[in-house]
Amino acid sequence: MNKIYDLIIAGSGAAGLTAALYASRNGLNYIVIDPSPPAGSSVALADEVDNYTGFSNISGFELMQKFYAHAKSLGTQFVNDEIKKIEKTDGVFTVICAKDDYQSKTVIYSLGAAHKKLGVSGEQEFLGKGVGYCAVCDGFFFKDKIAVVAGGGNTAVTEALYLSNICKKVFLVHRRDKLKADKVSVKKLESTGNAEIIYNNEIARINGGSKVTSVLLKNGKELKTDGVFIAIGLSPRSFAVEGIVDIDSRGYIIADESCKTSLDGLFAAGDVRTKRLRQIITACCDGANAAAEVNDYLS
């Protein structure tokens, strides 16, 4: 832990890898720390990405591999470790990890966000036995079967659309009377022929024996199903900087387009910061902006 880097990038998703590109171009001495394999971002789980400029049809895994290869080609050093906490003392950051600790003059925090849980009976019990949080990852196991998706945003509708190409029937359960997803995506879902949207309802319990067999809705109706995919939102992974930067009521690190936080030298990029749109392309913008701000800060 004797070496003090110019910059530590926490997270190797779209924001973190883009920050690495710009840090390299600026000649900074930096490392990227992430507990998952390189390019282990949730983006890598997407079967198809069609909203990243220049790529009309590419898998998330392939896109992230391109990001990783680009960063690697510029000499990016990756450290596989789990970040526990970040502290700042006498102008130096200490990134405390499971295996070792690392020090730097600045930090770009881009650990993203995790899937929110429903918190209902059966959710944990049947995890991996019919309950999942990624249709692209597990949808194949439900070919020609029935699936239920919980949620009403873009993620939920995208999951339901993907499953409609695999399953014989898909139910999308949303607690409100209108979906929050893009109108284009909603129309696509409505036109599939095998997807049904259930409004003003929620999953109260997930039932089964050795695997999921049905869900009980709050209105008392039971839906026979083989799988349940939960897509109700994200929980930002801001745990490592709690108490040292300003965080909003939902757990997102407060930072604008400059990615500056309330703590000098600490920048937040990607899904973990307050922002209107959480997409691959906006995460990349954050990474570039954050690296530019780091360069100015160090200068």
Residues known to be catalytic: 134, 137-138
Question: DSSP secondary-structure letter at 55?
Answer: B
Spatial CA neighbour of 272 closest among 240, 228, 227, 231: 240
Q: In whole angstroms, what is the distance from residue 35 CA to residue 27 CA?
A: 25
Contact 44, 135 (CB under 8 A): no
Spatial CA neighbour of 96 closest among 156, 10, 173, 208: 10
Collapsing DSSP to helix, strand or coil, 149 comes out as strand
Q: In whole angstroms, what is the distance from residue 110 CA to residue 128 CA?
A: 28
Q: Is 54 exposed, middle or buried (CB count within 10 Å of its CB: 0-12, 13-18, 19+)?
A: exposed
What one-character-per-residue DSSP string does 250-277 give?
A: TSPBP--TT-B-SSTTEEE-GGGB--S-
Q: H or E segment at 113?
A: strand 113-115
Q: H or E segment at 63?
A: helix 60-73
